[in-house]
């Protein structure tokens, strides 16, 4: 008797711009054995380049301009109804530049993940690479985490370390970190979608089997 494969988790990606992480997730999800499928890409900015790429690659897209909504909560009502319509089970934020209400975050607790271009809990917030260079740290990186109401907080699913070199500018450092983001985001989403990364308290527990297949800490030094 062969074990039946569990159905793929239905994932929406929320973006605001370029969408290179979105692209990495969509490409990874094309693999037959990937545990998630990308059923929707939504952007609060109608002109986001990522929307064009997603549509050209056969992924349903939605432009939901936040400026057409009277409040953050109104915007989220529209977003939630699109998520319901597409039967979305998990949300992956990928450069989504809009804060969410605590109610929305609570509704998606442990079902919404984000990527941030630093080794959290260091360097939360914007202009990360500028601040990393100003601080003079020699190692930075990126983090995939579950979303909590406080910005860039939440249980850590995956991290990669990236060296800072003395000739770095914010742009060269961002490019090196971005390459690491594209590596870890697909494996982190796979861990969550397959049910192998589980929140226990406010920490993530990963099943042994997955540790072997997808190392969580992947230093590129
Ligand atoms: C990435 O650096 C991500 O970590 C941050 O915003 C940037 C988005 O880039 N949250 P992209 O749109 O995925 O190319």
Q: Which of 16, 54, 117 for a ligand 1 pocket mutation test, highest count of atoms within 8 Å of Cβ?
A: 117
User: Does the pTM exceed 0.75?
Assistant: yes
What is the dotted CATH code of the domain comprising 115-221?
3.40.50.170
CA of 172 to the centre of ligand 1 (A): 15
| Rounded Cα distance, 160 and 118, in Å | 9
Element (H, E) at 175: helix 170-193
pLDDT tens per residue, range 74-84: 999 999 999 99
Q: Compute the C-alpha angle 167/140/20, nearest 5°.
A: 90
pLDDT tens per residue, range 178-193: 999 999 999 999 999 9
By alpha-carbon position, which residue is closest to atom 10 of ligand 1?
95
The percentage of the chain sitting over the pLDDT mark of 90, rounded to a whole number, equals 89
CA of 9 to the centre of ligand 1 (A): 23
CATH topology of domain 1-108: Rossmann fold (3.40.50)
The pLDDT of residue 208 is 65
Q: Which residues are marked as active site?
A: 116
- Ligand 1 atom closest to the Cα of residue 117 is 4
Task: Give the domain ranges of the chain.
Answer: 1-108, 115-221
Q: Decide whether 1-108 matches 115-221 in CATH topology.
A: yes
CA of 6 to the centre of ligand 1 (A): 30
């Amino acid at each position: 008797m062969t074990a039946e494969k569990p159905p793929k988790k239905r994932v929406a990606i929320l973006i605001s711009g370029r969408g290179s992480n979105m692209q990495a997730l969509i490409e990874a999800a094309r693999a037959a054995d990937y545990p998630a499928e990308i059923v929707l890409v939504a952007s609060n900015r109608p002109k986001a380049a990522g929307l064009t790429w997603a549509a050209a690659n056969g992924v349903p897209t939605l432009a939901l301009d936040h400026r057409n909504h009277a409040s953050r909560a109104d915007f989220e009502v529209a977003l939630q109804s699109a998520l319901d319509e597409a039967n979305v089970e998990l949300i992956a934020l990928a450069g989504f530049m809009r804060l969410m209400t605590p109610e929305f975050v609570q509704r998606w607790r442990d079902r919404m993940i984000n990527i941030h271009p630093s080794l959290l809990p260091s360097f939360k917030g914007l202009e990360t690479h500028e601040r990393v260079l100003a601080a003079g740290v020699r190692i930075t990186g990126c983090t995939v985490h579950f979303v909590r109401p406080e910005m860039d907080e939440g249980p850590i699913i995956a991290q990669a370390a990236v060296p800072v070199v003395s000739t770095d500018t914010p742009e060269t450092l961002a490019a090196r970190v971005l390459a690491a983001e594209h590596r870890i985001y697909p494996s982190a989403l796979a861990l969550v979608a397959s049910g192998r990364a589980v929140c226990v308290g406010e920490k993530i527990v990963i099943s042994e089997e997955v540790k072997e297949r997808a190392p969580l800490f992947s230093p590129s030094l």
